[in-house]
Structure 1
Amino acid sequence: MASPKIVVLGAGVSGLTTALELKKNLQNVSITVAGQYLPGDMDVTYTSPFAGANWHTFSEDDDYELQEFDKPGYFKFLELANEPKSGVWIKKSFAYLTNESFEESGRDPSKFFKWYRNFVQDFEIIDSKDLPDGIALGFSFKGVVITVPIYLNYLLSNCLDAGIDIKRTKRLASVQQAKNMFDADYVINCTGLLATKLGGFNDPNRNYPVKGQVVHVSNNARYKMSVSMFAPDYPDELFYIMPRKEGGCIIGGCVSQNVEHLDEDKGLTQRIIQRALKYVPELVDDNFQGNAKHIDIIKVNVGLRPAREGGVRVEQDSQHEWLYHNYGAGGGGYQGSFGFSAKIVKLIQKKIRGFTNL
């Protein structure tokens, strides 16, 4: 009996990771990754290149499904940090809660110290005397940051080494068109933001873009950091900084559903810089890794996150037994990529159990 053919739609982090994990577990299966955009391309609908990329789960204490999706990625990225070509870097991660946010939360520390305190390595609650001014609570843990251009090309290279075909396609009209074009037995829909443009299946939940804006700077920082803040005038804004292994930092940001335009918000850029100077003073310390005495901006990036009401969709389609979905991860695509892929692998393994030599 011939081995099955699988086409993975989408060459972002979800599509490439899914293809690789399928090939590792089903070596005799023929796999093609088909995408309108490939690593190295830049388009606002191709969201993976715009990510800040780290591991810091968004799962709440009672969101067990997302927890199980995010857990594998933590250990996998720690492992990948030992591979120089991956672009993954182990970096101590700090999380802070401002005084205003603490008051707004009802002064309940449990709302800040999440489930993963018992999961991540080297978790430590920061003593109050060591907290920055204006910060009520803080913790740190062993974290990772990911340089996305390097990591996406690393995934692409691994796919090619594994014998996975990579094909650039025009925008496809439907999942059925993809199935026919590649004579595929199974289609894995990893199209992210473009899932709303792909016909041939239904999704009862709303899919929508979430806008983000980050500042890429040449200045260096000691640690990865995020600050949860209560800013009534800017309810969609937050602060985070992610050092890059090759030098420089990504500093953000916002999570806005207002996507009337994708032009730079220059006011937000200035607020990002002000917060960076407040919380990360070594950015302009010339005694720290030769930093400039000013914020040296390389580029301001505005991108979109592929969000979905109810969270990521990782499942077999209810109408087509040959169709599987893996999209709608919002800002959690990188950290959840291995967990999402693991579920797809299990579903496909169960489905094609009748094929020989798998």
Structure 2
Amino acid sequence: MPPYTSAYDCVVLGSGVLGLSIADELTNRGLRVAIVARDLPEDVHSSAFASPWAGANWASFASNPAERRRDITTFRRLGSLAADHPDLVRRTPFVYVWNEGEYDGPWYKDVVYDYRVLPRSSVPPGWTHAVGFTSYTLNPPRYLAHLASSLRSRGVPILRHRVSSLDEAYSLLGPVSLVINATGLGSRTLLGVEDASVHPIRGQTVTVRAPSVVGCFGIKDPQPGGQQCYVIPRPGPEGHVTLGGTFLPNNYSTLPDPDTAERIVKDAYKLCPQLASGSGSGTSRTNSWRDIQIVSHNVGLRPARTGGMRLELENRVLGRVNMEQKDEHAGLVPARGQVGRGREVGCVHAYGIGPAGYQASLGIAEEAADLAVGYLAKIKSKL
């Protein structure tokens, strides 16, 4: 290993919920970390930045043991956050309803609190079946701001910079041997990664003000055309509730569709009429979906990956075209990415989580940190 010193042990690319959570875990383990990102945690209105737009509740749809392990770890750690920061994370009652077929219940019914099948008398009107349990909801903008503030208070810089190639990150802030790639959709075009299996899943939601709504609701019946119906209250004094939504793979549009927005609000009102209570419409008529106080219309592009997220350590050689990288793009790496050619480095890839970012983030952070610490210990032993 060449003799050099650096102010940092590693650089994290990306400041979404995964990048910030991993940086936080690495810092807690004593590593010197810097974050470099195109979008910063405070860029909560950037349509290209998925994390601020999430509904952000814990209702896992993990499909394999690794995903379940990460989600369970996150669930357990959210309990401490809810106790210390109730404006960021809150224990919340959930009700899921359906009409068609049988529903055996989610895999996580023994993880969440007080899971139960609701009696017919407690099923919301319009549905024949329902289950209830208690889990967690988060306030994404507040949660991102909290992570960023905590990191900055411990000396972790969060710098706005757009890199075109992975190799640039190894010299951007002085030479480092390890980079955490948490660039989300950026991993599709980032030179040195160029993962064609990365794609967006378009989600459209509506934020409304409904302080009296304190529970989550969702429909388990299949919905046509990528539609979804859910109601997710956000912790915090604003009384905001997220209504959704859509699940549209490979759709890059970031503009809200008015027809979709109307469908979302109507469906959510049918599921939870309390959304219109306190609207000020008076007692002379019955409230309707039109009385819901709309705060904003939102679109986010969930950073998904065919086959599931990539969470692994890659050994690299700077300046060398990797097997996964297309040869015709090797000459496009900027000059910054040519610094230190031939040096052996490592990269922990953590991208492609899709819509599960918040509910898996703390479990992913622990696994990514294990890989990072193991790699740095290994190269240190070679000195």
Query: 1:163 Cα deviation (Å)?
Result: 2.4
Which residues in structure 2 correspond to 1:330-349 (within 5 Å)? Answer: 330-349=354-373
Q: CA deviation at 1:346?
A: 1.2
1:318 Cα deviation from its structure 2 partner: 5.5
In structure 2, C-alpha distance between the alignment counterparts of 1:257 and 1:187, rounded to whole Å: 29
What TM-score results when the alignment is normalised by the length of structure 1? 0.88
**2:18 aligns to what?**
14
Does the CA contact (< 8 Å) of 2:71 and 2:359 recur in 1? yes
Return the match for 2:58 from 51, 55, 58.
Answer: 55
Distance 1:330 1:260 in 2: 14
- Name the count of aligned residue pairs: 337
Shift of 1:319: 4.6
Structure 1 residues 86 and 48, CA, compared in 2 at 3 Å: closer, same or farther? same
Cα distance, 1:151–1:133 mapped onto 2, change above 3 Å: same
> For 1:38 and 1:93, how far apart are their aligned partners in 2?
32
Distance in 1 of aligned mates of 2:87 and 2:37: 22
**CA–CA distance in structure 1, aligned partners of residues 163 and 365 of structure 2:** 23
Mapped partners of 1:262, 1:166: distance in 2: 26
307, 324, 338: which one aligns with 2:304: 307
What are the superposed Cα offsets for residues 3-42 of structure 1, whole Å, 9 maximum, x if unpaired? Answer: 86200000111001000101112x1x22101111111213
List structure 1 runs of 4+ shifted beyond 6 angstroms: 1-4
Percent identity over the alignment is 29
Give the distance between the partners of 1:45 and 1:95, measured in 2 at CA: 31
Aligned to 1:197: 189
Among candidates 146, 156, 167, match of residue 138 of structure 2: 146
Query: 5+ unaligned residues in a row in structure 1: which ranges?
Result: none
- Let me know the Cα RMSD of the aligned residues: 2.3
Deviates more, 1:320-329 or 1:279-288: 279-288
Counterpart for residue 37 of structure 2:
35
Secondary structure of the corresponding residue to residue 133 of structure 1: coil
Q: Distance in 2 between matches of 1:317 and 1:138?
A: 45
Judge conservation of contact 2:35–2:158 (CA < 8 Å) in 1: yes
The alpha-carbon distance between structure 1 residues 49 and 287, as it changes in their structure 2 partners (threshold 3 A), is: closer
1:131 equivalent in alignment to 2:123: yes
Q: Deviations over 1:288-320 (max 9, x none)?
A: 9x9x95111111111110010111111112656
Alpha-carbon shift at residue 52 of structure 1 (Å): 1.2
AA at the equivalent of 1:129: S
Deviation at 1:191, TM superposition (A): 0.5
Structure with greater Cα Rg: 2
1:177 & 1:285 partners in 2: Cα distance? 53
Match of residue 218 from structure 1 = 209
Separation in 2, partners of 1:118, 1:318: 39
Unaligned runs of 5+ residues in structure 2 are 318-344
